[in-house]
Structure 1
């Protein structure tokens, strides 16, 4: 059927995974349906100059530098295509942006909206399959765009339902908060999608429904939307996940309960070693801190505690394992993650990029990597990092939804 100039059809295909060529034949002809004009974002001027002045304040380890890569309004999660042609950026509004560095000078030349005739609803989560299918996880829908890196130049793009509107979560559970989904293709070729739950602490009367649907957890489906299962339980609101390049284990951040005080509960970085593990919510508010609502109750599940407890209310969001070759060897398979910054705290914290090193014994050490977006004197946020992605040259991108920008962090060995 046609929807606002976009060919939108349900996919009734076996997974896209390793059979992309055969699947494209089944998608039938792409029909021209007309389309809206692109919105282009100016990349220079006073806004770019102001952002660059802020970046002069950012501190990094020796040899690293940070530069403005692109002005991208409301920039949230990042997905760079397997061919390295386009970086797609989700938002918590109604746009997905396509960011292109045509001359490969490591500064974007063009930023425009992707599929402008398609009405997105909080398309925060964007992710690619290895064979070039772009997935967008919205508030209550998941779409796939075949060969998005090559078709993005047209405003008339074929989109297909993986999970149709109103079927990701029950419509009555839609909310204005905890709706920023993230997605990833796992080593098993399945699509993993986070489903934050729409409460500060999930009420008892909702627990059975949430356990069944995967709200307050992470679900996985085949890439055609079939075979839905709940992979992770006991999540409050995860907005960052990635798979360890060597072990294939799922790691993810979690935002924990508000209103318990400035210094509790901690945020979390979690490691999941098998399907069906439970990570504590709503009995735990973060780490080993019990929620007030469930404090006197016996915990009826086996709880996996976080591998790292982070600063309370720093809002740990997007994360990615580093698999590039530009950075020194110590960063290989380390986790770069974004702390968005606190709102529920007397003295603000966060607004920085963290790095976590995983030791051979499995222990994890997290430390600041890039910071300075929080003015220590005024408590003012000059930027709020959201997600971390990687370009094919091994540099990393950091999104910022306050400044509306992507930053590029690169490395050059100091002169001896």
Structure 2
């Protein structure tokens, strides 16, 4: 037998080792011990990872008739502009009379839209409240509740849909930062729920109320942290049959094109959802390490993992359960979510309305519902979507704060 040259022998050993490692990696799940070992459990050892990050904002086009005409909805549905020239509409709510309200955080106003003849197009718009950086809206017990960065207000609703003088209920919510867009709703328990996003992409927050959902009494008193470890949960709501609370949390940026996925969480009292140390299906975030002697594994053990995930960087905004009678029966108790659209990705995702299917009270999958806002071969868009609400007639309304349009989707 011929002897193998030492250099060749060393090369073969390296090749065999590399192939063995490749086979090992291919056979491992993300949560296997092999991957866990790549990130040390304490700061006694260095942490290193390589991530490719992108910034890509598609160019902006106007919401022309030609652009709107090529929007895609499922068979049997139609879409039209319910209102335009509405500034930068964000959150949408509808009262029992069919008046539609939207917040414009940049202008600091709440606008009422009226479709008196019921043709699916608003004929009148009127400013009904002026509050600096107003964003979240909800209607409860005949009153409008509005939340800014630091404050919560209530206002009586007049017979004509206008609002009385806002009364401040809370004035000390945490300061904003990267995520100042508070949202608000009342649950089946008659309590007030307020979302408070993180001030950063990934960090240890100094204020425990940041990256949480808070709960308070109807008058704003007795405020407590309901759930935490939520980076930025703007869209949330209670399933109409089970009364379970569900929300969509924004994933961490700068982890690559396909990380972190957006999360669908069943939000329970006193639960921790992992941010900033644990994300997705139990993955470690190498960008922010646990402080002190707490390890990643200990955080993972106390983290409530998502029930479902969605394409990273899609930026989920408002979420609304469908309880109307206009759409086909299979839509009942499913949820619609506005995916605002990516910026931290090499090619755009989101920019659409999606339907979240629920089976036996649990989310099981997503389907596209309204698409087509990305045009010019993925290089431009004419809508970044924010608010979602069901109109009194059962149609679906959603807002675009890029071109100041509110759209209406109806079933023939």
For the aligned pair, the TM-score class normalised by the smaller chain equals 0.7 to 0.9
| 1:121 corresponds to 2:132 | yes
Q: 2:148 is matched with which residue: 121, 128, 138?
A: 138
Cross-structure match for 1:260: 255
| 1:160 corresponds to 2:167 | yes
Distance 2:352 2:232 in 1: 19
Distance 1:256 1:114 in 2: 34
The unaligned stretches of length 5 or more in structure 2 are 1-61
Which secondary structure state, in structure 2, belongs to the residue aligned with residue 357 of structure 1?
strand
| 1:96 corresponds to 2:110 | yes
Residues 132, 149 of structure 1: 8 Å contact kept? no
| 1:235 corresponds to 2:235 | no
Q: 1:53 is matched with which residue: 66, 85, 92?
A: 66
Distance 2:362 2:248 in 1: 17
Output one character per residue of 1:22-53: Cα deviation in whole Å (capped at 9) or x when no partner: xxxxxxxxxxxxxxxxxxxxxxxxxxx94433
RMSD across aligned positions (CA): 1.8
Cross-structure match for 1:320: 320
- Say if 1:361 and 1:192 are closer, same or farther in 2 by CA, change over 3 A: closer
The unaligned stretches of length 5 or more in structure 1 are 1-48
Residues 88, 98 of structure 1: 8 Å contact kept? yes
Cross-structure match for 1:284: 278
Distance 1:262 1:198 in 2: 22
| 1:360 corresponds to 2:360 | yes
Higher-RCO chain (CA-CA 8 Å, sequence separation at least 6)? 2
Q: TM-score, normalised by structure 1?
A: 0.79
> 1:192: how far off?
0.6
Output one character per residue of 1:220-278: Cα deviation in whole Å (capped at 9) or x when no partner: 11111112111111100111111111111111111111111111110112122x31111
Distance 2:66 2:142 in 1: 36
Residues 397, 409 of structure 1: 8 Å contact kept? yes
Cross-structure match for 1:78: 92
- Say if 1:148 and 1:161 are closer, same or farther in 2 by CA, change over 3 A: farther
Cross-structure match for 1:299: 298
Distance 1:330 1:229 in 2: 37
Cross-structure match for 1:396: 396
> 1:363: how far off?
4.8
| 1:64 corresponds to 2:77 | yes
Q: TM-score, normalised by structure 2?
A: 0.79
Residues 347, 378 of structure 2: 8 Å contact kept? no
Aligned residues: 343
Distance 2:191 2:247 in 1: 17
Cross-structure match for 2:47: none
Structure (1 or 2) with the larger CA radius of gyration: 2
Output one character per residue of 1:105-135: Cα deviation in whole Å (capped at 9) or x when no partner: 22101122222xx4x2221111111x32101
Question: Which is worse superposed, 104-113 or 359-368?
Answer: 359-368
- Say if 1:148 and 1:364 are closer, same or farther in 2 by CA, change over 3 A: farther
> 1:184: how far off?
0.7
